[in-house]
Amino acid sequence: MSDDDHILLAHGGGGQLTAELIRQVILPALGPACRQEPTRLTDSAQVGLAGGPVVFTTDSYVVKPLEFPGGDIGKLAVCGTINDLAVAGAQPRAISLALVLEEGLEIELLRRVLVSAGRAAHDAGVTIATGDTKVVERGAADGMVINTAGVGTLLKGAEVGFDRIAPGDRIIITGPLGEHGMAVMSRREGLGISADLASDCAAIHELSAALVGELGPAVHFMRDPTRGGLAATLAELADAAGCDIEIAETAIPVNPTAQAVAEMLGLDLLAAANEGKLLAVIAPEAAERAVSVLAAFPLARRAAVIGQVTRRSDYPLVEMLTRAAGRRVVQMPYGEELPRIC
């Protein structure tokens, strides 16, 4: 291939090649999700938001490989940002998309990633309002890094936070664990798994909005269990709320292929990343209704109550009742078992 098919350092110089990259590759690939005029590009954008409190988030994405079964770094960045707003009880409205590109990156790969990002944003009704592009030397960025920021408006009736968690609350997860982490690792390790294992990468804002819309203040807390998986999320939740938590292994939805990959690699599925799951803490009287609301969405058809908050504690603990009728302490992972996963 010629240099015309790859990112050059000059693409990050702010001159003609930068302008061509933005106008000929980036903006067309993002499609209708991006409303910037190619001839009137600025470093910021006005976004019309409905009245009420504004929720803001930011994140960076360094997944390896850049494309994986069920997604890629572009879809991951958009969905991840949407999900961070969603679990805060917000309706996502607009995001920024900043690219750090490595010299030598194939422009066709960049185009595929951006098409995917644009499609994910458009499908979710979210505007890609602004962005930035930088280029670094070969070997400095492993292909591509994406940074995003997102804004949303707080949903009416949303009252979520660690302070609202109380003994008796039920814990709900919307589907099988670890599919993202295991899909990425299977591709990274070259396992050649032909079974139906793909990342769960998806926007979950419709799930959170439905819960808040139907149950209001009975939704006490929401989180998407990404890095560190369910284990990290529950450990953080217990510590912040000052409560013990008990979950049942038999109640947790599992993808058998993801479980097999985890066992093959010596990994704990509880600590594997998810990118399209919602964990919700719900008042006990509303738990069954919450599962029914969630299960109406294809994305959450396997939603289930997996445990409960049991008691206040000075030394909060998460325990899992195992299939063998024993008890296992679920701890916060010490570090990242799966680096470069999101």
Domain contains 334: no
User: Which residues span the domain enclosing 180?
Assistant: 162-329
Last residue of a domain, one of 100, 132, 154: 154
CATH code at position 231 = 3.90.650.10
Q: 38-47, 184-193, 199-208 — which is least confidently predicted? A: 38-47
Q: Check which CATH number belongs to the domain holding 132 and give it.
A: 3.30.1330.10
Residue 44: inside a domain: no
**127, 154, 181 - which closes a domain:** 154
Q: pLDDT (tens digit, 9 = 90+) per residue, 50-63? A: 667 889 999 999 99
pLDDT recorded at residue 80: 96
Residues 166 and 304 in one domain: yes
Q: Which pLDDT does position 263 carry in this prediction?
A: 92
Give pLDDT, residue 32: 87
| Domain-embedded: residue 47 | no
Question: So what's the pLDDT on residue 19?
Answer: 79
| Co-location of 68 and 104 in the same domain | yes
Q: CA 89, 91, 96, 101: dihedral to nearest 10 degrees?
A: 70
Does 183 share its domain with 289?
Answer: yes
Counting residues of the chain whose pLDDT is more than 70, the rounded percentage is: 91
Q: Which two tokens stand for residue 316?
A: 């909060």
The total of structural domains in the chain comes to 2
Does pLDDT of 192 surpass 80? no
DSSP string, 254-269: --HHHHHHHHHHT--G
Q: Are residues 120 and 226 in the same domain?
A: no
Question: Within this chain, do residues 323 and 193 fall inside the same structural domain, yes or no?
Answer: yes
How far is the C-alpha of 289 from the C-alpha of 304, rounded, in Å? 11
pLDDT at 39 over 60: no
What is the model's pTM?
0.90
Same domain, 139 and 187: no
Please indicate, yes or no, if residue 337 is contained in any of the structural domains.
Answer: no
Tell whether 113 and 248 lie within a shared domain: no
143 and 185 belong to one structural domain: no
238-277 confidence digits (pLDDT tens): 999 999 999 999 999 999 999 999 998 899 999 999 999 9
**H helix or E strand, kind and range, residue 67:** strand 67-68
The string of pLDDT tens digits covering residues 277-323 is 999 999 999 999 999 999 999 999 999 999 999 999 999 999 999 99
| 14 and 150 co-located in one domain | yes
The answer as to whether 46 is a domain residue is no
Residues paired with residue 99 on neighbouring β-strands, in sequence order: 133, 146
DSSP state for residue 310 in the 8-state scheme? E
Q: Are residues 182 and 126 in the same domain?
A: no
Last residue of one domain, picked from the residues 119, 154, 189: 154
